[in-house]
Amino acid sequence: MRTPIIAANWKMNKTAAEASSFTREFLAQDIPSGVEAVICPPFTALEAVMAQLRPAGRANVFLGAQDMHWEPKGAFTGEISPSMIGAAGCSFVIVAHSERRRLFGETDETANKKAAAALAAGLTPIFCVGETAEERDRGLTARVLEGQVRNGLAGLAAEAVSRMVVAYEPVWAIGSGRAASPADARDAAALIRGVVAGMYGDAASLGLRVQYGGSVDPANIGGFMAEDGVDGALVGGAGLDPVKFARIVALGR
Ligand code: PGA
């Protein structure tokens, strides 16, 4: 059985002090067992969130980063390495969010290097895929998702892939208030698992957790979680509010 996983991607929001009060308030909410929660603050707030999580000792609340470089160290001004985020307490790292792809030149190739480097460093990648509105209108959704999975997850160990998280985030649904339908999320999850099964076998594809992301909120999370093969959500805007995020986590069980 796959454990559901709900992650908050804060993007470029919250100072360390704001992150600290969010985490305190989030931990004060009713967070049931049987679901994993991941908080992904900006790099500058990783330590502040961890400083609250560590003493709380909650086995199902984790820290994640929003990105990282694939090299272990060196002359890469402005970048952060896998071991740096690991040392800051991260268990997860978001890889190839569509904003990284669209605004910062992330490609399937760099995404693939990051996925491999994250796994090698003992981090679980939350690997993002998703089609744009234009690609969807042109009937290319399946082809785009297949390419992103095939290229992004190439050359990994099957056992490692079985522990990964893939987030299906249609670009048009992100921050738009216009979520995809639960059926769309179910179909995408099935497609992703089909491609992974072809690459790495059934055990990898059945172990892998698939999230839906794009305008998830407390009102629509239940519909996504009711779908076969959808194992959680990657939450942007609604993940900035500790009460709302806790409600989504609780409903994500
Ligand atoms: P949103 O963002 O929930 O604000 O649509 C989701 C994401 O970008 O991960």
- 205, 193 contact by CB (below 8 A): yes
Query: Tens digit of pLDDT for each residue in 167-212?
Result: 999 999 999 999 999 999 999 999 999 999 999 999 999 999 999 9
CA of 84 to the centre of ligand 1 (A): 25
Please tell me the distance from the alpha carbon of residue 67 to that of residue 51, in angstroms, as a whole number: 20
Distance 75 CA to ligand 1 centre (A): 32
Give the pLDDT of residue 93: 99
Confidence of residue 21 (pLDDT cuts 50, 70, 90): very high
CA of 176 to the centre of ligand 1 (A): 8
CB of residue 20 inside a 6 A radius of ligand 1: no
Of 1.10.600.10, 3.90.79.10, 3.20.20.70, 3.40.50.300, which CATH number belongs to 5-251?
A: 3.20.20.70
In sign, the C-alpha dihedral spanning 172, 174, 177, 183 is positive
Q: What number does the ligand 1 atom closest to the CA of 9 have?
A: 9
Q: Please state, in angstroms and rounded to a whole number, the distance separating the CA atoms of residues 174 and 101.
A: 14
Q: Tokens 């792809």 map to which residue?
A: 101
- Radius of gyration from C-alpha coordinates of the chain: 17
Instruction: Please give the distance of CA 66 from its chain centroid, rounded to a whole number.
Output: 9
* Residue matched to tokens 């009713």: 30
Contact by Cβ (8 Å): 182, 215: no
Q: Which of 36, 97, 131, 227 is catalytic?
A: 97
Q: Is 236 in the pocket of ligand 1 (CB under 6 A)?
A: yes
Measured N-to-C along each axis, helices 16-27 and 242-251 cross at an angle, to the nearest 10 degrees, of: 40
| pLDDT 10s digits, 119-173 | 999 999 999 999 999 999 999 999 999 999 999 999 999 999 999 999 999 999 9
The backbone region for 143, taken as left when phi is positive above 0, alpha when psi lies in -120 to 50, beta otherwise, is alpha
Q: Distances in Å between the alpha carbon of 186 and those of 28, 205, 216, 244?
A: 32, 14, 15, 24
Residue of the CA atom closest to atom 7 of ligand 1? 236
Asked if residue 234 has its Cβ within 6 Å of ligand 1, the reply is yes
DSSP-assigned letters across all residues of 57-79 = T-TTEEEEES---SSSSSS-TT-
Cα of 234 from ligand 1 centre, angstroms: 7
Q: Is 69 a catalytic residue?
A: no
Residue 173 structure tokens:
């649904």
Q: What is the largest CA-CA distance in the chain?
A: 50
Crossing angle between the packed helical segments 16-27 and 46-56, to the nearest 10 degrees: 30
Contacts of 122 (CB under 8 A, 6+ apart): 86
- Going by alpha carbons, the residue nearest to atom 6 of ligand 1 is 236
Q: Rounded to an integer, what distance in angstroms lies between the CA atom of residue 112 and that of residue 135?
A: 22
- Cβ burial of 195 (10 Å; 0-12, 13-18, 19+) is buried
Q: How far apart are CA 193 and CA 209, in angstroms?
A: 9
Q: What confidence tens digit (pLDDT) does each residue in 63-106 have? A: 999 999 999 999 999 999 999 999 999 999 999 999 999 999 99
- In degrees rounded to 5, what are phi and psi of residue 104? -130, 20
pTM as predicted = 0.98
C-alpha to C-alpha distance for 178 and 214, rounded to whole angstroms: 8
